[in-house]
Structure 1
């Protein structure tokens, strides 16, 4: 597996001035997936946005990791419900136009 779509955890931590243990703890709470390749830690590029969001919540709002886990899951549920509402509205519009 190549590192084309992966970002080094060390690079992220250096860029945002956060400890590697932050990403490790996110991994322990299953909020991000760490990929180990050639003894280096990586995350997928698609998870970078989530890491940034979780970092802001944790450091700016001083929310602990248990709270981060709860907030993250609630935000995912809200996003899922929004998608479902959009789908149902589209179906309703289809049937109203008949």
Structure 2
């Protein structure tokens, strides 16, 4: 298995001083995807920014996992709606120029 786009969960947790159970809880709420290999469990590197945000929500603001789940689902909806607005604006601009 190629691990260039993966980071070991134990290495991540050691560097950020968080328990592995935090990452496991995020996976239970389907907020992150864990890749399992024969030697270790891994996070994809493109998830690291989101995990760092979730860590700040949980440890700095004392938001529980249910709250983090709700916040991230709402943020995904907002991002989707913003992308849709951008697409619609581009279409509108195209038709206004005709």
Question: Matched residues in 2 for 1:21 and 1:77: separation?
Answer: 27
Residue of structure 2 equivalent to 1:6: 6
Q: Runs of 4+ in structure 1 displaced over 6 angstroms?
A: none
- Distance apart, 1:55 and its partner CA: 0.8
Deviation at 1:77, TM superposition (A): 0.4
Secondary structure of the residue aligned to 2:36 is strand
Gaps of 5+ in 2: none
- TM-score normalised by L of structure 2: 0.96
The root-mean-square deviation of aligned C-alpha atoms, in Å, is: 0.8
Query: How far did 1:60 drift?
Result: 1.1
The equivalent residue for 1:47 is: 47
Q: Partner of 2:20 in structure 1?
A: 20
Report the Cα distance in structure 2 between the residues aligned to 1:65 and 1:97, rounded to whole angstroms.
48
Tell me how far apart the structure 1 counterparts of residues 89 and 50 of structure 2 sit (CA, whole Å): 28
Q: CA deviation at 1:38?
A: 1.8
- Please, which runs of 5 or more residues in structure 1 have no aligned partner? none
* Count of aligned residue pairs for this structure pair: 98
Residue 39 of structure 1, CA deviation: 3.2
Matched, 1:75 2:75: yes
C-alpha distance after superposition, 1:39-71 (max 9, x if no partner): 301011111111011111111111000001000
Q: Are residues 1:59 and 2:80 paired? A: no
CA distance in 1, matches of 2:52, 2:91: 35
